[in-house]
Structure 1
């Protein structure tokens, strides 16, 4: 009799454990997505579109929770959190060249001519060669989005030629090659978190900075700068990156739909850029900022040493850069 009771008790406990396990298995997956963009930035627009697409594809199975405005730290901090598993996704840009040297090819000035050229680079270089290179770092590349063409602003003077940058204290993102570029142009570049930039410009700690229109306006940098020089010196991609360990733990069907949503968001980002560019420039001019064109030929001529240094110092870089240039011809 005691043996029968024991068996019944064990069965009841096992049944109870199974019942408890069922809701856990069906629990919603919550993925935290962090970025440095302010409300209205391309990062926020992209994040919201991605979250919407995920909801459409997966319903209540997955929820994307967005943390913008550097709430979870700067780009470097967020990538570290992803590796540690305390953050699931982020949208880095320039900082990726500090993670994987080959990403420095997107830091080469005037490399990407337009989106048609970029589409070829994405297909023939980015997915086959760059995206897999992040995986040994504990990262998983999900999509290539956009931050836009970068332009120089300052409180010193209009920048027309590289020599106009001589001595200018210029904030740059946390990436080695942007520092090298502006040193070659004669500026005094300093890496700094985006969240600290407005105050640095307002107080004169920095004379200027360089960013796409959407970042300039969403962070109100045009309110503390006098000049905008339309250099377009770098096309800055933005990347949707996830943690490799967490990614591989998710069911295959969930991963497939997340990747599809991520890739599809690229079109929304491009459309938003095209829609916003003219209005953003008007906003900048409306704040009293003086806008000028630059001598791009002079900047291109001054960029030779940067390409040479990158090609010589990063293994495998020169063939990729040469291929990217050839794809634009």
Structure 2
């Protein structure tokens, strides 16, 4: 009997030991899973597959992951998977998304970003490079940091053109009464109100359906966004207004970013800046190819009277200069850089 009792105690002890081992292993797996989750650096954007947003973010991730050596894994979530532009900015500030690639919507955080919403202020990428160096980094980026947002690099969304289902747009008067979707930024709204349209801010993810159902008649975007979102399937006319060149911004939440190890921060920031050359080269190539594809898809393409649009844009410059603190020096400097 003693032998049986001793064996039972040994079995019971072994079972307890095995249970403790299993619990420890489960805890270890849970901790490992948590560590893996923490090691993911989430990048969100609203671009569809094939857009310059998607190409830019994926290239950034490829380069950064090659340098990080497993210290952090950059993972990209496109097509508004993590939210629309405004939501992404808020999530970046809160730290639930690590990085986003917004464009026009940055004006909802810092009014001075609206200088890029002024019609025809940016002539081309070479001009934009001068503005970036002499206007953006010294005068605008620091204002974003005061709101908890750090800009790692300036990328591109592109030159915007008007599409609609009514008729060709050649002069601003042709926009009268047209229901036109714009991004979530007040200066684009003001611009198209000045032109006579009926603009409404709307998430990009909702745009296709709004055009398809007639909730909206028109929209304005770069070729890369038009084609990748298949807007050519629900829009008949493409008017080459080129009214605004929109930068895109690789942004992170300042607090969470500063909590990363210094070497990781350096890789992410340096890689974001290095990626700009790829973005510009890819965007320039896409512009030519995508216009051809949009024509082949059946869109009717026309030139616009840019002088008429420029003349109609003057009140926007005056309003921006009067309403936004420090705006006039930004405008004057940007315009002067265009004459070099």
The TM-score with structure 2 as length reference comes to 0.89
Q: Output the CA distance in 2 between the equivalents of 1:328 and 1:78.
A: 32
Q: Output the CA distance in 2 between the equivalents of 1:316 and 1:278.
A: 37
Q: 1:119 aligns with which of 116, 125, 129?
A: 129
SS in 2 for 1:95: helix
Q: Output the CA distance in 1 between the equivalents of 2:310 and 2:94.
A: 40
Report what 1:91 is aligned to: 101
Deviates more, 1:97-106 or 1:282-291: 282-291
Q: Deviations 1:174-223 (Å, cap 9, x if unpaired)?
A: 00000000000000000000000000000000000000000000000011
Report what 1:249 is aligned to: 259
Q: Output the CA distance in 1 between the equivalents of 2:79 and 2:102.
A: 13
Q: Output the CA distance in 2 between the equivalents of 1:143 and 1:209.
A: 27
Q: Output the CA distance in 2 between the equivalents of 1:275 and 1:121.
A: 22
**Runs of 4 or more above 4 Å deviation:** none
User: 1:23: how far off?
Assistant: 8.2
Matching of residues 3-82 of structure 1 within 5 Å: 29-82=39-92
Q: Is the 8 A contact 1:143 1:262 kept in 2?
A: yes
Figure out how many residues of one structure are paired with residues of the other and give that number. 310
Q: Is the 8 A contact 1:54 1:62 kept in 2?
A: no
Residues 1:105 and 2:110 are matched in the alignment: no
Indicate the RMSD between aligned Cα atoms, in angstroms.
Answer: 1.7
Q: 1:188 aligns with which of 172, 178, 198?
A: 198
Q: Deviations 1:246-285 (Å, cap 9, x if unpaired)?
A: 1110111111111110001111111111221122111111
Deviates more, 1:58-67 or 1:158-167: 58-67
User: 1:50: how far off?
Assistant: 0.3
SS in 2 for 1:240: strand
User: 1:29: how far off?
Assistant: 2.7
The TM-score with structure 1 as length reference comes to 0.91
Stretches of structure 1 lacking an aligned partner (at least 5 in a row): 1-15
Q: Deviations 1:149-176 (Å, cap 9, x if unpaired)?
A: 0000000110000000000000000000
Stretches of structure 2 lacking an aligned partner (at least 5 in a row): 1-23
Question: Which one has the largest radius of gyration?
Answer: 2
Report what 1:286 is aligned to: 296
Q: Output the CA distance in 2 between the equivalents of 1:273 and 1:136.
A: 31
Residues 1:168 and 2:191 are matched in the alignment: no
